[in-house]
Amino acid sequence: MDKNTFYITTAISYPNGAPHIGHAYEAIATDAIARFMRLSGKDVLFVTGTDEHGLKMEQTARGLGMETRALADKNSALFKEMCAVFKISHDRFIRTTDDDHKLACQELWRRMKANGDIYLDRYEGWYSVRDEAYYDESELKAGQGGEKLSPQGTPVEWTVEESYFFRLSNYQQKLLDLYNAQKTFIQPESRLNEIVSFVKSGLRDLSISRTSFKWGVPVPDDERHVMYVWVDALTNYLTAAGYPDAGYKKYWPANTHIIGKDIVRFHAVYWPAFLMSAGIALPEQIFGHGFLLNRGEKMSKSTGNVVDPIELAKRYGTDAVRWYLLSKVSFGEDGSYSAEAIIETHNADLANSFGNLVQRVFSFIAKNLEGRIPTYGSLIIGDAAFLEAIGKMDEQKSKPIHSIHSPYLDDLRSWMNEYMISQVSSSWLNAVFLCNQYVDTHAPWALRKTDPVRMETVLAVLLDAIRRLAIAAQPFIPDAAAKALAMFDQHEPLNFDALQDATWYLRWIASGFIIAPPTAIFPRLELQESPPL
């Protein structure tokens, strides 16, 4: 039987600094997918969190004259706040300093060791603290002053240390077989080639412990060593599912790890190799999204263009930022953003299009029917064509409004299953445009005098369409969607089954609900210049 569970994760972020908009982007996109799956009836586990161990954290804390734990606490709290501000619907916020996580890491280690894949040796080679990654000499490039840099452009240092190693070399063929057999293991497909050529170029055993610092998970039976931070970090996905308790299999294997393109190698090479070694099922998919650029430029502390996402949301609203990132950045590719673009998109798509539609229809009803829910009569061809375009109504054009079939959402569902997030949102926006056209064409204000019965049908058709739009918008703009649904006296999230609900309109009428004059769902936004963002 197919599992009805859906386990999705973001990467866990280093809390060596405050979150930036790239972190918010990953959380928002993953949240939209998680919400979509929940509304489709899946039992979802959605996990995000912070990756708190390792040299980078220790060095940053030392530089700030802080305890490492205090640095982690301070910034992890900001990541949590970011999640709250953006309405991220995670089920767990994991911190790798959580007690249960240590047990999971140690159990995974023991199993890899029992399989003969861990041995003690000496590491001599290049390490980038910023990337928390080991690099081969051949991967390095020269900086402007001739200094050696990692492929990501970060400084590397020569490291010599006793270390435990993982026999990654044993997994070269197994990994290639995996990519071959599980065609969608690495998504989008464009990320696959890079990984395949990295693996084909030959895998060396991987250093997986350190002795020169203590800020990490102790290696079982050898407390002189702490685990390499990526062994610890990747294991968070198991911990959050409940590993090593047998119950972890309820959600494991994960359906998708959503991560940025810079860390695909860790997830698509090291992670499956560790899991194979430990005899644990592999995640179904690794999805490497693109990078968010600030006005087309890479964000960095030195350029001073790192935007605080919490401030951005406080200034312009959660839905405005979410909507921009989800609808205007093609998921999987790099994207650019600016405060101006967020405001412009919000005003055009949300305030002027969806907001205005809701405003027009509800205030017309409040005013002209004294809030009474319009009675719906028989549909004409124009209505049918409209509803077909919105909801692809089925063949019988004269079917009453409350039995309209809605494969529209089925299309969206199959797109969303492939994480075509921006395509789904533009399709939604097109439906909003159609609704506004319908209002203009069928002009209920003109019908008020000439044909009040027909006027009510037009309004009923519009209410039906708006409700559909609100239901479909929930994963993207949860606040606004909730406000729109509240106007239908609906105060809980509505599952997508509600789109097929044949009797809701009759029930709504029977409830005697009075439609109130609406308050604006989307106030128009203005750019706030200072302080600049």
227 phi and psi angles, rounded to 5 deg: -70, 145
444 phi and psi angles, rounded to 5 deg: -55, -30
Binding to ligand MSP by residue 129, rule CB under 6 A? no
Q: Which is nearer to ligand MSP, 292 or 463 (CB)?
A: 292
Which residue from 17, 25, 6, 15 is spatially nearest to 83, judged by alpha carbons? Answer: 25
User: Interface with ligand MSP by CB under 6 A: which range of 8-16, 41-49, 175-183, 383-391?
Assistant: 8-16
> 292-296: long-range contacts (C-beta < 8 A, 24 or more apart)?
292/21, 292/22, 292/25, 292/325, 292/329, 292/334, 292/335, 292/336, 292/337, 293/334, 293/335, 293/336, 293/337, 294/21, 294/336, 294/337, 294/338, 295/336, 295/337, 295/338, 296/336
Question: Cβ(16)–Cβ(57) under 8 Å?
Answer: yes
Q: Which is nearer to ligand MSP, 18 or 385 (CB)?
A: 18
User: Among residues 6, 7, 8, 11, which is the contact residue for ligand MSP, using CB under 6 A?
Assistant: 11
Binding mask 196-235 for ligand MSP (x = CB under 6 A): -------------------------------------xx-
Tokens of 152: 């990501």
Helix (H, G, I), strand (E, B) or coil at 253: coil
Question: C-beta of 104: minimal distance to ligand MSP in Å?
Answer: 13
Question: C-beta of 259: minimal distance to ligand MSP in Å?
Answer: 4
Helix (H, G, I), strand (E, B) or coil at 13: strand
Binding to ligand MSP by residue 23, rule CB under 6 A? yes
Binding to ligand MSP by residue 18, rule CB under 6 A? no
Question: C-beta of 13: minimal distance to ligand MSP in Å?
Answer: 3
Q: Which is nearer to ligand MSP, 26 or 117 (CB)?
A: 26
Question: C-beta of 321: minimal distance to ligand MSP in Å?
Answer: 14
Q: Which is nearer to ligand MSP, 28 or 390 (CB)?
A: 28
How far is 29 from 418, CA to CA, in rounded Å?
13
Helix (H, G, I), strand (E, B) or coil at 99: helix
User: Among residues 263, 312, 481, 521, which is the contact residue for ligand MSP, using CB under 6 A?
Assistant: 263
User: Among residues 140, 299, 420, 527, which is the contact residue for ligand MSP, using CB under 6 A?
Assistant: 299
Q: DSSP code of 155?
A: B
How far is 178 from 172, CA to CA, in rounded Å?
10
Binding to ligand MSP by residue 259, rule CB under 6 A? yes
Q: DSSP code of 129?
A: T
Q: Which is nearer to ligand MSP, 122 or 298 (CB)?
A: 298
Amino acid at 82: M
User: Interface with ligand MSP by CB under 6 A: which range of 10-18, 324-332, 388-396, 458-466?
Assistant: 10-18
Binding to ligand MSP by residue 262, rule CB under 6 A? yes
Question: C-beta of 266: minimal distance to ligand MSP in Å?
Answer: 7
Binding to ligand MSP by residue 14, rule CB under 6 A? yes
Find the radius of gyration of the CA atoms of the chain.
27
Binding to ligand MSP by residue 268, rule CB under 6 A? no
Return the residues of window 33-92 that contact ligand MSP according to CB under 6 A.
Answer: 51
User: Among residues 6, 7, 8, 22, which is the contact residue for ligand MSP, using CB under 6 A?
Assistant: 22
Question: C-beta of 183: minimal distance to ligand MSP in Å?
Answer: 23
Question: Cβ(249)–Cβ(260) under 8 Å?
Answer: no
Q: Which is nearer to ligand MSP, 317 or 332 (CB)?
A: 332
User: Interface with ligand MSP by CB under 6 A: which range of 19-27, 304-312, 425-433, 481-489?
Assistant: 19-27
Binding to ligand MSP by residue 12, rule CB under 6 A? yes
Buried b (16+ CB within 10 A) or exposed e, 179-217: beeeeebbbbeebbeebbebbeeebebbbbbbeeeebbb
How far is 207 from 233, CA to CA, in rounded Å?
15
Count of chain residues binding ligand MSP (CB under 6 A):
19
Binding to ligand MSP by residue 330, rule CB under 6 A? no
The closest residue (CB) to ligand MSP is: 260
Q: How many residues does the chain have?
A: 533
Question: Interface with ligand MSP by CB under 6 A: which residues?
Answer: 11-14, 22-23, 25-26, 51, 233-234, 236, 259-260, 262-263, 291-292, 299
